[in-house]
Amino acid sequence: QVQLMESGGGSVQAGGSLRLSCAASGSTDSAYCMAWFRQAPGRGREGVAGISSYGSTGYADSVKGRFTISKDKVTNNLYLEMNRLEPGDTAMYYCAADVSRWVCPLWSSPSEYTSWGQGTQVTVSS
């Protein structure tokens, strides 16, 4: 398993931007499936964006064109650039990872991941 720690959340007005970071540690494996999930009060955990070891990415329809996921190939740190934020983006955001995998066809399914961070809160006001 790998240890994950998110940072970069905060409160912004609609139309603003935030950059989330996820520091990965504890594994020397070079193959990772990683993703960002979010969970709003009273709702299930939703896959926001995922990235494979090859760099292939996937996005939820609600964030396409606004959010960008990226990963540092050396450190395996994960990032989520969020632009044109909307009140509907308000949620706790979690970083997730599963090592020893090169492809991640089911990136948006929480059951695909064995490691999770503690989350970072994003609040968008109108």
Instruction: Kindly report, residue by residue over 25-58, the tens digit of the pLDDT.
Output: 988 777 889 999 999 999 999 999 999 999 999 9
Strands 120-125 and 10-13: parallel
Angle made by CA atoms 11, 13, 18, in degrees to the nearest 5: 55
pLDDT for residue 114:
93
Distance between CA atoms of residues 2 and 124, nearest Å: 30
What residue type is 103 in one-letter code?
V
4, 117 Cβ separation under 8 angstroms = yes
Say if residue 13's pLDDT is above 90. yes
Say if residue 9's pLDDT is above 90. yes
Say if residue 12's pLDDT is above 90. yes
Task: Give percent above pLDDT 70 in the chain.
Answer: 100
